[in-house]
Every structure is written in C-alpha cells, then in structure tokens.
C-alpha cells in the first residue's frame, strides 16, 4: 500500500489513509499522506473508509484485503450502500476466487444477481469505467 500511495503522491494525487491506533502506534502508518486518520478499531476503519469512498476496488492482497472486500460487498448486498465493489484481477490473481464465487452461486448460497455485484477486470481504466456506470440490482435483498 505504501508504494501505491507514494506513486499517487509523486504524480500529484491525494491520498487519505485510515489506520487503527494499534497499528499507527507500531509505526506502520505512512506519515507522508495528504490526510492520515487514526481510528480506534478495525471496524471503525472500515466504516470510515466506506464513508469516504465512492466505491471499493481490491488490488491483489491477503486476508485483510479479502475481509474488507467481502464486508463491503455484504453491506452492498444488504442495501447499506449502493457503491460498486470490484477486484483488479492482475495476471489472474483473483481467477480462483471468482471461480469459487461462481461455485457458490451453483450451490445456491448466493444469487446470480448478487454475484454480479462484484465487478472484476485486469485493466484499471476499464474497471474504473465499469464502476462509474455501476447500478446495484433491484429487488429483494
């Protein structure tokens, strides 16, 4: 995340960071951001990131990335927000996850319309365009 933040800052962009206090205390926080917000918990972090964002795009990452992505996707499914959720599928990183989600649909644990709420693509610009055009499904939750 630090390399991405530095790249955005070097190109004149703005970066807002949200980090729980226990991680900031361990000096994990990037102190050169445009805006660094320190919160008390991971839940407060996710809530604030949701409030600040127009959408969610997960880049390749680990368990924390997946947890945050699926919480935001679940909130969207429940109608708590109407923002697009997406994965940037760099070099097929998320292929197996996407296939698993298709399996979950086949097993009837998730509806096809809810599965379609998670956008994916390997081209950043094209994926951002799809996110901008995104409209959540209508009907029962």
Burial of 136 (0-12, 13-18, 19+ CB in 10 A): middle
Domains of the chain and any CATH numbers? 1-52 (no CATH), 54-141 (3.40.50.450)
Q: Whole-model pTM? A: 0.88
pLDDT category, 140, cuts 50, 70, 90?
Answer: low
Share of the chain above pLDDT 70, in %: 97
DSSP reduced 3-state for 32: coil
> How far apart, in whole angstroms, are the C-alpha atoms of residue 29 and residue 20?
9
What is the model's pLDDT at position 51?
94
pLDDT tens profile 76-110: 999 999 999 999 999 999 999 999 999 999 999 99
Buried b / exposed e along 61-96 (16+ C-beta atoms within 10 A): eeeeeeebbebbbebbbeeebebbbbbbbeeeebee
The residue among 10, 81, 21 whose CA lies nearest residue 52 is 81
């Amino acid at each position: 995340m630090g390399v991405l933040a530095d790249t955005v800052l070097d190109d004149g962009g703005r970066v807002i960071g949200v980090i729980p206090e226990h991680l900031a205390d361990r000096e994990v926080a990037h102190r050169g951001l445009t805006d660094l917000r320190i919160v008390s918990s991971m839940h407060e972090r996710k809530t604030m990131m949701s409030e600040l964002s127009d959408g969610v795009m997960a880049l390749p990452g680990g368990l924390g990335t997946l947890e945050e992505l699926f919480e935001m996707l679940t909130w969207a499914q429940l109608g708590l927000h109407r923002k697009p959720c997406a994965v940037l599928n760099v070099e097929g990183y998320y292929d197996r996850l996407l296939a698993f989600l298709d399996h979950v649909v086949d097993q009837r644990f998730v509806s096809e319309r809810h599965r379609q709420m998670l956008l994916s693509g390997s081209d950043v610009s094209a994926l951002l365009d799809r996110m901008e055009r995104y409209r959540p499904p209508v009907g029962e939750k």
